[in-house]
Each structure stands twice: as structure tokens, then as C-alpha cells.
Amino acid sequence: MKKSRDWFSTLAIIGGLLLVLYPTISNFLNLRNATRVIEQYSEAVDELTDDEAQQLMDAARTYNAKLAGLSGIPAAEGGWDAIDASTAAQLREEYMGLLDLTGTGVMGYITIPRLDETMPIYHTTEEKVLQVATGHIETSSLPVGGASTHAAISGHRGLPSAKLFTELDKMQLGDIFYVKVLKETFAYQVDQILTVLPEETEALAIEPRADYVTLVTCTPYAINSHRLLVRAHAIPYLPSMEGEVGVMGNPINLSWPHLALIAALILLAVVLAGMRLRQLERRDKDEFLEERGGAHAAPGKGEAHEHAGRHFK
């Protein structure tokens, strides 16, 4: 019975550790997958000629110009003049085929030094995308820079399986992040942080001549009644920034309370293991003494029998 209790205690500690470590283990696996996706994307980009890459970029920028045109921005300011009723339907059909170099829906990746994160950017914000990476909000501009563009990139917050935009609320005015698409890298500096209701989308509108990227997630943490919008404007990408682009994040996805709980469980496991070891040592000692006691008792009996035999003779 005591042995069963010992096994139960051990299994309970192991189960507790696995439960607490699940976010880190899962985030590590998600990070490995993101690294593999970005490496495959980079390899596909390297195989493109400069002319091929420019053609793909030009198609994306034409798309953005038409999207700006739907907002009433003329060609002189980065929009599109030839807009008619069929333009919106045409853009929806074009969207999925643009910048999808590997056929997986990846259009590039984003590096956010403040969050210690590099994540693929996929087409759309479907749930299967947001469970593993960031998604491009398809009603916004493609993230290829240029006048009259406003790309919106969405990510989940608080997933136990992946960090993603969990710490987006740590972003500060002046922070810089990077977007890599094809052979070009774009740098953006945060200039506005807003909390709005889900239906309040005015802050995502395309503005004439502006070049914005907004990062979007749910807030407050675990309640998700509002949206956190972290907007940034384009700044020159400098050679000194190159070392920050594509740096993968730390896989540890644990808060201080979780780390404290892990430490407590490990300490408890060590204490229980020590107690169990002492119990085994005492048991072995007792068994040894019993064996020695039996060995001493046996000759005594023999001598008694021999004495009795001599007496009857």
C-alpha cells in the first residue's frame, strides 16, 4: 500500500511538471516549425532572379494601388484612378495568388525585437493560421511598403501552444520592427498604440501617401473584448539593422508564477526522492540485520541437538 502511495506521489509530480511545462514544450515545437517555414521561404526567394522578384513585387503593389483607389485615393497619391464596380471582386480573386511563393500561403515574415519574435506572415486570418503564426488581414494592403498603404497583421494572444502576440502590450512608442517580403526588408517605427472595440476599424484605414503597418491582437488578456492596435510608419532600412532581422525568439513561454511553480515541484520531487532513498536504505539495513540474526541463531540450534544426542548416548 505504501509502495502504491509512493508511485502515486511520483506520477503526480511528473504530471504536474509536464502540465506546467506544456506551454514551453509546445512553443518550442511551434518555433521549430516557424523556423522551418521561414527557411523554406528564404530558399525559394534565393532561387528567384531579381527580375522575377520584381515582377511579383510589382503585382503586389498594383494590387495595393487598386485597394487604395477603392478608398478614394487617386493615382497621384499612390492610389488608382481606373476604379469600377468590378474592382473589389477582382481584388478578392487576385489576393490568394499574390506573394504566395511556396504555395503554402506564406507571404513573408515579421521580426519584432521588443517581443523577441520572428513569425511567418500568412494570407488571411483563418483560425488554422492564427494557431501557429500571424495572418494578414485581407482587406488591408499587402505588406510591401509604398505610398497610400496600410497593412494589418493579426496574431493571437494567450495561446498555451504558442507565444505569438501574447506580449504585444509591451510594445512602446518608438519601437522598431521589420517585415521581410521576397528580397526586400521594410523597417517600421511604432507611432500609435490604441485600444478599440472590434467594430471600430477606422484606425486601419489607408491614408493618402502614408506607409503604415498595424499589428492587431485581442485585449485585455484572456477577456478579448477589445482590440489592441500597434501602428507603425515606414522608416529607412539601414545596413546596421540587418543583424536584427530573422532572429528567432526564446522558446520559453512561461511567466514568473509558472517558473516558481516549476521550482517548487522540482524541490518537492527532490525531497520525496531523498525520503524514499532513506526508506530504502533503512529497509536494506533491516533485511541485512535479520539475515545476520538468522545466521547466528542456526548454529545455536545445531549445538543443542548435538548436546542432546550425546546425553542420550
The percentage of residues in the chain with a pLDDT greater than 70, rounded to a whole number, is 78
The one catalytic residue in 123, 156, 233, 258 is: 156
Which region among 117-126, 194-203, 226-235, 254-263 has the lowest average model confidence (pLDDT)?
Answer: 254-263
Q: 106 Cβ partners below 8 Å, 6+ apart? A: 37, 41, 100, 120, 121, 122
> What ranges make up the beta strands (E) of 46-163?
106-112, 117-123, 134-136, 149-154
Question: Would the pLDDT of 211 be above 50?
Answer: yes
311 is catalytic: no
Nearest alpha carbon to residue 151 among 139, 163, 143: 143
pLDDT per residue over 222-251, tens digit each?
Answer: 899 999 999 999 999 999 999 999 998 766
Domains and CATH numbers, the chain: 7-258 (2.40.260.10)
CB atoms within 10 A of CB 312: 5
User: What is the four-CA torsion angle of 294, 300, 305, 307, rounded to 10 degrees?
Assistant: 180
The one catalytic residue in 150, 218, 305, 307 is: 218
How far is it, in rounded angstroms, from Cα 154 to Cα 223?
17
What are the start-end ranges of the H helices in the chain?
2-46, 50-70, 87-95, 127-130, 256-312
**Which residues make beta-bridge pairs with 71?**
none
Which pTM value belongs to this model? 0.76
